[in-house]
Amino acid sequence: MGARTKARKRALDMLYIADVRERPLAEILVEEGERAAAQPQRASSWPYAQDIARGVIDNAAAIDRLIEDNAHGWMLSRMPAVDRAILRLAVWELVHNPDVPDAVAIAEAVEFAQVLSTDDSSSFVNGVLGAISDALHRTA
């Protein structure tokens, strides 16, 4: 697993924990930062995981709006928590990180959904992210 994939997984874990425990993501980020400082062997994945979490914090309302606008008939509250976390992470990458090609962000998100969520989640995540990617490129 590459450093960026590990970082995405760390960020995904933080997003999921914050959602399920109903705690601010900023608090979870601080706790994970303390854990990262105590585990130098995992240092390579921390900076990008931190960037993702901070980016989601800073853009949460817009990210959630994009997800709901493209999830056709699905409100965020009805989605499994892990799907919300996956989508938030990937939407941040699609919108705010031009260094990550859309296809990579979407493929990683779909892979996480296949491994961590329901049987239908990977196609759902792919569809939502594909629609967002298409919309972003139409307006660019």
Encode pLDDT of 41-98 as tens digits: 777 889 999 999 999 999 999 999 999 999 988 999 999 999 999 999 999 999 999 9
Architecture of domain 3-139: Orthogonal Bundle (1.10)
In order, the DSSP letters of 84-103 are HHHHHHHHHHHHH-TTS-HH
Contact 10, 71 (CB under 8 A): no
Q: What is the pLDDT of residues 14-29, one digit of tens each?
A: 999 999 999 999 999 9
Query: Which of helix, strand or coil describes residue 74?
Result: coil
Position 42 scores a pLDDT of 75
Residue 140 has pLDDT above 60, yes or no: no
CA distances from 21 to 27, 132, 140 (A): 11, 28, 37
Question: Would you state the pLDDT for residue 23?
Answer: 97
pLDDT of 122 strictly over 70: yes
The answer to whether the beta carbons of residues 36 and 72 sit under 8 Å apart is: no
Dist CA 121 CA 133 (whole Å): 18
The mean pLDDT of 1-13, rounded to a whole number, is 92
